Amino acid sequence: MKRVGVIGGGQLAWMMADAAEKFGVKLVVQTPSENDPAVSIAQEIVFAAVDDASATKTLANKCDVITFENEFVNLDALSDLAHQGVCFRPRLEALAPLLDKYHQRCYLRDLGLPVPQFFAIEQLKNIKSKVEYLGFPVVLKSRRHGYDGQGTFIIQDFASLEEKLSYETTIQTSNESSFLLEEFIPFDRELAVIAARSVEGKIVTYPVVETQQEQQVCRRVIAPAEITPNQLAEIQAIAHTLLNSLEVVGIFGIELFLTANGKVLVNEIAPRTHNSGHFSLDACETSQFEQHLRAVCGLPLGNSDLQCAAAVMVNLLGYENSHSDYQSQRQQIAKIPQANIHWYGKTESRPGRKLGHVTVLLDNQNRDLAIALAQSIESIWYPR
């Protein structure tokens, strides 16, 4: 497989460039705007929205296999292409149970994997007893198209739930059944693991990491996470069960909660490369982007071990509306020993937008030190 089509042209596609060059793979990207990060690295571009399946047909004519950096596609329309012989990796049947968060929770539960208690909202008036059973706070989530915490709301009481649902259903032209409700997990930490599955069914997992979110958006990642050998084994088993059951080819990101009494629960599955695996670009022999390309192209999977004792990754999130490229902050951060900046080349900054990230390689596994380093990067990046 030498020509890979990528649906979505954001930073996740952009970060596949080095691996594509290494393997002599041609990347053809389907993305709506000429300002999207991957436009600068793609050999060919189909300018169209990611859910435009007729554009994906054009994309298919230009490549041997199609993969995703954005999963908000129109699966029904893509299935017609798959029936005509277009090769999607991961396969569309593996995406089907994941794109709706309620279906995803049901799929994980039916596999016997641990998940928070949850239910779909059919009609608000019918859920009072169920909500009382979960107890406040509860978490309200849009079933579809949520990312970076958009569409995830922590709700403290029934009046706020009613208010939020009526507001969201008005602005989104959706209705109550577009949401699910779940138990709020008072987690001790959030964890994540990246796992890849090859065409032959071999699975490779990356070190389990700790992720830290603020306002539901990932701010920093510490690799490896401080967990027990049993928790590590449990998380690796979750990854194997999931990827084997879905029979996927490619990289998956799995987000987890670790509770105060040491219980692991699955929060969310991303059927693609994931923010929690960005550290692998600098800290592992095979980055998640190279691994994904290897899997999708039918190549053997590479070594996913850390090449250093530890690493910390900090997202550089937009905090204002601007066209600045933040040269001086970037230069200051670059002076930190063992720091590697990845700047996505977005022409517009908006609050919360992922503009780049920094990974610092560390020579010991000291969580406090990693957090302190992340804080010093953030104090350079964010204005006081």
In order of 63, 281, 293, the CA distances from 46 in angstroms are: 12, 27, 20
Rounded least distance, CB 142 to ligand ADP, Å: 8
Binding-site size, ligand ADP (CB under 6 A) = 20
Q: By CB under 6 A, what part of segment 116-155 binds ligand ADP?
A: 116, 139, 141, 146-152
- Alpha helix positions (H), the chain: 11-14, 17-23, 53-61, 75-83, 92-95, 101-110, 128-134, 158-171, 229-246, 280-283, 288-296, 327-334, 367-381
In the list 136, 184, 319, 326, the residue contacting ligand ADP (rule: CB under 6 A) is 184
State yes or no: residue 302 binds ligand ADP (CB under 6 A). Answer: no
Cα atoms found within 13 Å of the Cα of residue 74, Cβ hemisphere only: 15
Q: Which is nearer to ligand ADP, 172 or 324 (CB)?
A: 172
Radius of gyration of the chain (CA): 20
Q: Which is nearer to ligand ADP, 149 or 302 (CB)?
A: 149
In the list 52, 64, 182, 234, the residue contacting ligand ADP (rule: CB under 6 A) is 182
Query: Please, which residues bridge with residue 160 across strands?
Result: none
Interface characters, 73-112, with ligand ADP (x: CB under 6 A): ----------------------------------------
In the list 267, 275, 287, 340, the residue contacting ligand ADP (rule: CB under 6 A) is 267
Please give the single-letter amino acid code of residue 207: P
DSSP state of 257: E
Q: Which is nearer to ligand ADP, 56 or 211 (CB)?
A: 211
Tell which residue, 183, 106, 200, has the closest CA to residue 139.
183
Rounded least distance, CB 260 to ligand ADP, Å: 13
Q: By CB under 6 A, what part of segment 10-39 binds ligand ADP?
A: none
State yes or no: residue 268 binds ligand ADP (CB under 6 A). Answer: yes
State yes or no: residue 58 binds ligand ADP (CB under 6 A). Answer: no
Q: How far apart (Å, rounded) are the C-alpha atoms in residues 222 and 312?
A: 5
State yes or no: residue 213 binds ligand ADP (CB under 6 A). Answer: yes
Rounded least distance, CB 230 to ligand ADP, Å: 23
Q: How far apart (Å, rounded) are the C-alpha atoms in residues 90 and 110?
A: 21
- Say if CB 357 and CB 343 are below 8 A apart: no
State yes or no: residue 212 binds ligand ADP (CB under 6 A). Answer: no
Q: Which is nearer to ligand ADP, 255 or 378 (CB)?
A: 255
Q: Which is nearer to ligand ADP, 46 or 181 (CB)?
A: 181
3-class secondary-structure state, position 208: coil
In the list 75, 77, 82, 185, the residue contacting ligand ADP (rule: CB under 6 A) is 185
Rounded least distance, CB 261 to ligand ADP, Å: 15
- Say if CB 253 and CB 269 are below 8 A apart: yes
Long-range contacts: 18-26, Cβ < 8 Å, 24+? 18/287, 18/289, 18/290, 19/287, 19/289, 19/290, 19/292, 19/293, 19/294, 20/293, 22/290, 23/293, 23/294, 23/297, 23/299, 25/1, 25/293, 25/297, 26/2, 26/63
Q: Which is nearer to ligand ADP, 147 or 326 (CB)?
A: 147
Question: Which residues contact ligand ADP (rule: CB under 6 A)?
Answer: 116, 139, 141, 146-152, 182-185, 190, 213, 216, 255, 267-268
